Structure 1
Amino acid sequence: MSDPNPGTAVRKGHGSKYLFLFLLGLVVGAVGVVMALRAWDARKDHFPESLMHVQDWHMDRLVKATEQNRCAATDTLPHLKALRMTADDIELAFPGLADDQRFADAASKLRGTLDGALTAPPMNCEGVAALAKDIGADCKACHQDFR
């Protein structure tokens, strides 16, 4: 069979070029959005979240110590000291709440519980479990009001 119009050129579509440009635009746009979100996140103050993560980790270590029956003072004191040290920074981590008396009282109560634990550290797993429960109650009291 022959071409009915031998003088006309065959036209090719430009759809593949448009598809390529569309996909390229999607990729460039996605990269741009990720870069913008990372820049926005970098401006955020991560100190409050970091402080809470560190305290949570040390609390978890105390609970795991009771589960593993490793409750000697040498196992628990490093975590209690770290919890007490980071408890000093609670008001600094949340400057918007530092003037609230309930927040200050909750932070002070936590520090008091930890000071008592450092003065007379628990010597057995029952004592560590009770202390972890008391510390958890102090944390929960604050989290219920301010989280």
Structure 2
Amino acid sequence: MAGTGARYFFLFLVGLVMGAVLAVMAVRTWQARQDPFPDALMHVQQWHAVQLKNNLEANRCNATDTLPHFSALRSTADDLESAFPDLRDDARFTKAAGGLRAALDAARANPPLNCPALGKTMESIGGACKACHQDFRG
């Protein structure tokens, strides 16, 4: 009788392991079908925004410290409609994306030369980001 219980337990463990392996395979297959571009674009933009915040906190607010990040943010802002094709025709989305590009164009045209000015510029850019995130971020 002890042998029968051990067999059932062994079969249970085999089924459990096979179920776990199949579940991992299914999740990986689902992940492989997802487009990584939207998340990657948002991560890159967030990284540059954090670098600007870190510069502000470290009192490194010269144009030479901020312009590379403004330029990178502006360059990636050109890809927003491509990254979110479902929203490309939504007027709120295109308005928010255009507002972000306008704020970044202003930041590059007249880069802040001190920390208070950088703070105001970052508020402008953050407001443009927030306009989109309020409507479309899940």
Please give the range of the TM-score, normalised by the shorter of the 2 chains: over 0.9
Per the alignment, residue 40 of structure 1 pairs with 30
Q: Which structure 2 residue ranges, 5 or more long, are not aligned? A: none
Per the alignment, residue 126 of structure 1 pairs with 116
Correspondence for 1:138 among 119, 128, 132: 128
Equivalents in 2 of 1:145, 1:110: separation in Å? 14
Matched, 1:96 2:86: yes
TM-score (norm 2): 0.94
CA radius of gyration, larger in: 1
Secondary structure at 2:85's aligned position in 1? coil
Equivalents in 2 of 1:72, 1:117: separation in Å? 12
Equivalents in 1 of 2:118, 2:136: separation in Å? 27
Correspondence for 1:51 among 35, 41, 50: 41
Q: Which structure 1 residue ranges, 5 or more long, are not aligned? A: 1-10
Shift of 1:13: 3.5
Per the alignment, residue 58 of structure 2 pairs with 68
How big is the alpha-carbon RMSD for the aligned residues of Structure 1 and Structure 2? 1.1
Equivalents in 2 of 1:97, 1:14: separation in Å? 60
Which structure carries more helix by proportion? 2
Q: Residues 13 and 73 from structure 1, CA distance in 2 versus in 1: closer, same or farther, beyond 3 angstroms?
A: same
Matched, 1:82 2:72: yes
Shift of 1:12: 4.9
Note the alpha carbon deviations across 1:103-141, whole angstroms, 9 max, x for none: 111111110110111111111111111111110000101
Secondary structure at 1:71's aligned position in 2? coil
Equivalents in 1 of 2:125, 2:53: separation in Å? 11
Per the alignment, residue 13 of structure 2 pairs with 23
Identical-pair percentage: 58
